[in-house]
Amino acid sequence: METAIVSPFQYSLIYNAFSFTFATMAAATIYLWFGRSQVSSAYKNAVTISGLVTAIAAYHYFRIFESWESAYHYQNGVVTATGIAFNDAYRYVDWLLTVPLLLIELVLVMRLSREETVQKGWRLGLAAALMIVLGYPGEIAADIPTRALWGTLSAIPFVYIVWELFSGLGKSIDRQPEAVRGLVKQARLLTFASWGFYPIVYMAPYAQITGPEAQTVIQIGYTIADLVAKAGVGLLIFAIAQRKSEVEGHGTPHTA
């Protein structure tokens, strides 16, 4: 992506957003992995993967933060480009790894039958990876038609994932212990809401937002979506795992 000369306010806003997100993802990772001891063995994998998602995100946000620092020189209230391009590809590498895992952690915490877990995990994981791969050419495209083409192709697996979340997993949610159904539905809804935010940000250039303004909208928008989709959903997955461990530990039967 070509480096746009942002204003001092825009530079500081994005700089602080990257710093905050790195710290949040790192803290969420520590919390989730230490929290594994508070859930039963049936849900440890779901919590471990939740922590893995935030760990991968923390690493990539650290690299994004470094790249942002390298792309600009900020001194005496003036921002100048260093000539080193800001590397936004870190986001897509991160999403290629974390987005499939986000869906897999949701499937795992539901504790479906082994066959259903494998089937849904593979289908959703592959659809998520395909969505990211198809979206990247549009993200780096210099013209709107090319961006629109790849964005439309990327929307096909996205629609399939949404259908699976609300139709394919709907019946499975109804079979969850009553005490956790609300939390599982919240996790599903939060996943959908945060993912729905990505295409809105992706379409920012369609609204004739260009240059530093587009850079700011895209970076802040994607960062907010990442915080919700990874740290937010991860904490919900942990809450579900903890609640189900308590319910099932007290003799409430689990219906698979």
pLDDT in tens, 92-111: 999 999 999 998 998 888 88
- Cα–Cα distance between 128 and 13 in angstroms, integer? 30
Question: 40: helix, coil or strand?
Answer: coil
* Burial state string for 109-147 with b = 16 or more CB within 10 A and e = fewer than 16: bbbbeeeebeebbebbbebbbbbbbbbbebbebeeeeeb
Question: 78: helix, coil or strand?
Answer: strand
Confidence class of residue 193 from pLDDT cuts 50, 70 and 90?
confident
- Cα–Cα distance between 71 and 153 in angstroms, integer? 31
pLDDT at residue 256, as a whole number: 36
The sign one gets for the Cα dihedral 223, 225, 227, 231 is negative
Condensed to tens digits (0 to 9), the pLDDT of residues 18-29 reads 999 999 999 999
Tokens of 110: 């539901």
Are 34 and 95 in contact, with CB atoms under 8 Å apart? no
- Mean local confidence (pLDDT), 160-185: 80
Question: 227: helix, coil or strand?
Answer: helix
pLDDT at residue 254, as a whole number: 43
- Cα–Cα distance between 60 and 54 in angstroms, integer? 10
Confidence class of residue 253 from pLDDT cuts 50, 70 and 90?
very low
Whether residue 255 is predicted with pLDDT greater than 50 in this model: the reply is no
pTM given for the model? 0.87
Confidence class of residue 251 from pLDDT cuts 50, 70 and 90?
very low
- Mean local confidence (pLDDT), 129-154: 89
Query: Regarding predicted confidence, which is higher, 128 or 168?
Result: 128
Whether residue 165 is predicted with pLDDT greater than 90 in this model: the reply is no
Contacts 24+ apart (CB under 8 A), 88-94: 88/1, 88/64, 88/139, 89/136, 89/140, 90/60, 90/63, 90/64, 91/60, 91/64, 91/222, 92/132, 92/135, 92/136, 92/139, 93/60, 94/56, 94/57, 94/60
Confidence class of residue 201 from pLDDT cuts 50, 70 and 90?
confident
Tokens of 80: 């100048």
